[in-house]
Amino acid sequence: MHGYSRPLAILVLISLLCMGLSISMGSAALSFADTWAVLTGNGTPLQQTLILELRLPRTLSAFATGGLLAVAGALMQVLLRNPLADPYILGLSGGAAVGALLAMLAGLAGALVSGSAFAGALLATMLVFGLAHGTGSWTPSRLLLTGVVVAAGWGAIITLILAMSPARQLPGMLYWLMGDLSHAGNPAPALALLVLVCALVLPLGRSLNVLARGPLQAAALGVTVRPLEWLIYVLASVLTAAAVSMAGSIGFVGLVVPHMLRLVLGNDQRLILPACALAGGTLLVLADTLARVVIAPEQLPVGVITALLGVPTFLYLLYRSR
Amino acid sequence: MNPLQARDLVIDIPGRDDGEALNFIIQPGQIWGVLGPNGAGKTTLLHTLAGLREPRAGEVCLGEHRLMELKRKRISQQLGLVFQERQDGFPATVLETALIGRHPWLSPWQMETGNDEEIARRSLEQLDVAHLSDRMVNTLSGGERQRVAIATVLAQAPDTWLLDEPTNHLDLHHQVSVLQLLTEQAGAGNSVFMCLHDLNLAARWCDHLLLLYPNGEVCWGPAERMLAPVALERLYGQELLTVEVDGAPVFVPRKVW
Amino acid sequence: MKHFGLIFVVTLVVCFPLPGLADDLCATDGLDHKVCLTAPAERVVSLSPGATELLFSAGAGDKLVAVSAWSDYPPEAAKLPQAGNSNRLDLEAIVALEPDLVVAWVDGNSASQLAKIEALGVPVFWLKPRTFEDIASAVERLGVLSGNEKTGAGRAADFLAGIEQLRDRYQEALPVRVFYQVWHEPLMTINDEELIGRAIRLCGGSNVFGHLPRVVPRISKEAVLEANPDAILSGGEDSDDRRWLEQWRQYPELAAVAMDNLYLIEPSLIQRSTLRMLEGTSQLCRTLEEARARL
């Protein structure tokens, strides 16, 4: 019954392999031997810079971002009792995008853009929270509708900002909107958040399983439904906000990864959530590696790769589940 | 056990007058049946008794305590509820579903133990669905799902059973075995309170009946007193013929030619 | 084709003014379309800042009735009425001004919008300057169309002479391996086809990303570290914003950092394909000379 360790161990192994692959590939040609030399404290200064200062942080950022998105997606799916929900469905990425683009328009860069994106995402969260909560009667479909309409509003503001921006700002903005890891900063906070959340949802896991069977059933089995739902909402929002402020709005990871894992591993959230962290991270590490090397030394935004991988995968799953 | 009690309870059905207030105690060993036509508020009453809906007036008590003052976890260790409708956006296996019934008894940090699994398996066996343990619930027939839902509450092991149409989708044999199981529960000192749409099953298995009229009127009491053909005909708006079989009344609708 | 077109125009205008077309002024534009006017343009609308600058250079500044947003050079251009952003033109305003010539820029304006203007009978002259010679000939041709043939030809010749002078002086100099940073997030550079790339070569520099197929490629930091340029040049986000350059100092093993060859190039002089490129290129050449001294 509790066969959690085997699938998780396999996923950890795959993650490590993919990270290894990712740090040994890039514009600059380094062999696996070179990579190994650097990791064991040898190698030339250039190789050390390439691997330890450029590739490793970026790979870890990709892993953290993908993991955060997949866990947020899985939580959102339980919250909305809809296996097709994704982390952006309630307009969070729209708020983050508006924050980030406004910062770019003001000529800011780096951490300030990330911070502004994070603030935008939280603002979007609170806006949807306030609108859906204000009336007192709260249902997943009401939250969903509020979120979708608010997201459309953000979309309009994004278009407006793009239309008002000088041409030379546009490439940066478009890359941000497509999702791009080249300006991800220090991965440590995001990784810490990922680990923290996985530890936090572990005791919540069984309650989430019960909640997935509907709020009445959950209440009858002793779950305090409303506080749990808001906790999930806040958690998923913070995770998404952290991911989006690192790498822009990368699509499909939060939708496809939990969905695929549910098909393979079933619906026990105690297994699905940590598995999402690992598989989501791995998927984004692979996608980012592709983005970096496909037309190296030129670079693609990773969001393009995840969408190119995600759309056919998702259509296939839908087709198969008919 | 702490008996479930309605004190001056008025259930909240939008657009309907208050009607009469309910005052009753479901004592250990009793089997209550709720009868009433569609839309009379049977499900609402059941959910209100389980604390899942606010009453319009009055209160529901579990032993000495008002239900609203108790933690959901405490309540769920004493009250089990079989719903009429089930959601499965995220389908699970039959065994996982039965194990959910152990949720009230586990702390957040605990995993289900072998003992919990044993309880769940035994419950499935009692409902004759153990052979489906590894099947996904969304692939089962309506009757099988109904039995899995009852097995889940059996695994939950509550003192008071609240059931919404427990015989729905069941064939005659399984209807009888479910009612037999509930009778055993009552015999062991638990209490049962269920909505039924089959008058004759209620007449045969319930010792107390509550008649819920669509206008909010209610009456309740020992079964033999409540089974007056006139009251039942008014309840359903349907003429009935009464025959006696095996010492108990059987009601048959009069056919209109 | 381009040269053929140019020869054709020069031939047509200078040597053989045909009887029937005696009063016509014709010039071939950047898209190889022949644009003819019956009289010198008197009411000109410029649809990009670069076009505005080239028109002023050709002596047609006083003929401009409207310019696109961001037309900030020369200073008097900024005082002219605006006809919208270069990629979203205010067609109604343009048509209402009844221009007799509209000057468009291939990289900025929308062909479908311009097609509408053309359908209304307003001649559109497209500019597509990719080389120093293109810039010169654009000024020359705009001079022809606006009746300032002499001014245009003179300015164009001065420009080319200045460029040739730089070429003679620096082309054979010791090559400096250059990385030119166009933008930081995402990191972008230019290849040899781009005008800045041409300027770098003219000054005896060698663009480390000159061989890439895209004109403005997006690259990784890693690629820069591997290419290890001798000098890093950038226009910066603003005229005196050295932030992008300073960021490279976290990689002391870069030759450019080790030699302190991080240079800010005045962006307005080099990022527009206009006659100011001469000043920009000469600044670039002096900068590379400085970098060369530190090799």
The DSSP annotation for A262-313 comes to: HHHH-S-HHHHHHHHHHHHHHHHHHHHHHHHHTTTTB---HHHHHHHHHHHH
Query: What is the domain extent for residue A76?
Result: 5-320
User: Do chains B and C touch, with touching meaning 3 or more CB–CB pairs less than 8 Å apart?
Assistant: no
By CB atoms closer than 10 A (0-12, 13-18, 19+), residue B41 is: buried
* Residue C97 shares a structural domain with residue C190: no
* Residue C290 half-sphere exposure toward CB, CA atoms < 13 A: 15
Query: What is the domain extent for residue C41?
Result: 2-161
* Residue C180 half-sphere exposure toward CB, CA atoms < 13 A: 31
Q: Which chains touch C (3 or more CB pairs under 8 A)?
A: A
Using CA atoms, how far apart are residues C258 and C249, in angstroms rounded to an integer? 9
Specify the CATH number for the domain of residue A191. Answer: 1.10.3470.10
Q: Is residue C166 part of a domain?
A: no
Residues 6 or more apart whose Cβ sits within 8 Å of residue A146: A90, A128, A131, A132
* Residue C109 pLDDT level (bands cut at 50, 70, 90): confident
Task: Identify all chain C residues contacting A107, using CB atoms and an 8 Å cutoff.
Answer: 237-238
Q: C126, C143, C161 — which closes off a domain?
A: C161
Specify the CATH number for the domain of residue C131. Answer: 3.40.50.1980
* Region B92-112 average pLDDT: 91
> Which among C94, C96, C74 has a CA at the least distance from the CA of C86?
C94
C39 sits in which H/E element: none
Query: Are A50 and C183 within 8 A, CB to CB?
Result: no
Strand partners, C103: C46, C125
Q: Crossing angle of helices C149-170/C277-293, nearest 10°? A: 10
Instruction: State the DSSP code for A86.
Output: -
What ipTM describes this predicted complex? 0.91
Using CA atoms, how far apart are residues A186 and A52, in angstroms rounded to an integer? 12
Query: Are B103 and A222 within 8 A, CB to CB?
Result: yes
Name the more confident of A3 and C194.
C194
CB of C156 closer than 8 Å to CB of C136: yes
Dihedral of the alpha carbons of C288, C292, C293, C295, in degrees to the nearest 10? 140
Interface test with A, best of B88, B90, B106, B137 (most A CBs within 10 A): B90
> What are the respective helix, strand and coil percentages of chain A, to the nearest 5?
75, 0, 25
Task: Identify all chain A residues contacting C219, using CB atoms and an 8 Å cutoff.
Answer: 27, 297-299
Using CA atoms, how far apart are residues B251 and B245, in angstroms rounded to an integer? 10
* Region C118-145 average pLDDT: 92
Which of A203, A216, A267 lies at the smallest CB-CB distance from B90? Answer: A267
Using CA atoms, how far apart are residues A74 and B118, in angstroms rounded to an integer? 30
Mean pLDDT of chain C: 87
B169: left (phi over 0), alpha (psi -120 to 50) or beta: left
Which of C86, C183, C253 lies at the smallest CB-CB distance from A49? Answer: C253
C104-140: b or e for each residue (b if 16 or more CB lie within 10 Å)? bbeebbeeebbeebeeeebbbbbbbbbebbbbbbbbb
pLDDT 10s digits, B163-186: 999 999 999 999 999 999 999 999
- Reduced to 3 states (helix: H, G, I; strand: E, B; else coil), residue A135 is coil
* Residue C113 shares a structural domain with residue C184: no
* Region C187-202 average pLDDT: 93
- What are φ and ψ of residue B160, in 5° steps? -115, 125
Measure in Å the smallest separation between the Cα of A211 and chain B Cα atoms.
10
Identify the closest residue of chain B to A217 by CA–CA distance.
Answer: B83
* Residue A137 pLDDT level (bands cut at 50, 70, 90): low
pLDDT of residue A50: 87
pLDDT 10s digits, A19-76: 999 998 888 878 888 888 888 888 888 888 888 888 999 999 999 999 999 999 999 9
* Residue C233 shares a structural domain with residue C282: yes
Q: Is residue C151 part of a domain?
A: yes
In chain C, what is the straight-line distance between the N-terminal and C-terminal CA atoms, in Å? 42
User: Looking at the 3D structure of chain A, how many domains does it have?
Assistant: 1
pLDDT of residue B76: 95
A30 sits in which H/E element: none
Secondary structure string (H, E, C) spanning B92-144: CEHHHHHHHCCHHHCCCCCCCCHHHHHHHHHHHHHCCCHHHCCCEHHHCCHHH
Identify the closest residue of chain B to A83 by CA–CA distance.
Answer: B89
Instruction: State the DSSP code for B5.
Output: E
pLDDT 10s digits, B189-242: 999 999 998 999 999 999 999 999 988 889 999 998 999 989 999 999 899 999
CATH superfamily of B4-253: P-loop containing nucleotide triphosphate hydrolases (3.40.50.300)
* Residue C18 pLDDT level (bands cut at 50, 70, 90): very low
* Residue C28 shares a structural domain with residue C131: yes
By CB atoms closer than 10 A (0-12, 13-18, 19+), residue C20 is: exposed
CB of A46 closer than 8 Å to CB of C225: yes
Q: Does A49 touch chain C (CB under 8 A)?
A: yes
Query: Are A172 and C186 within 8 A, CB to CB?
Result: yes
The model's pTM: 0.86
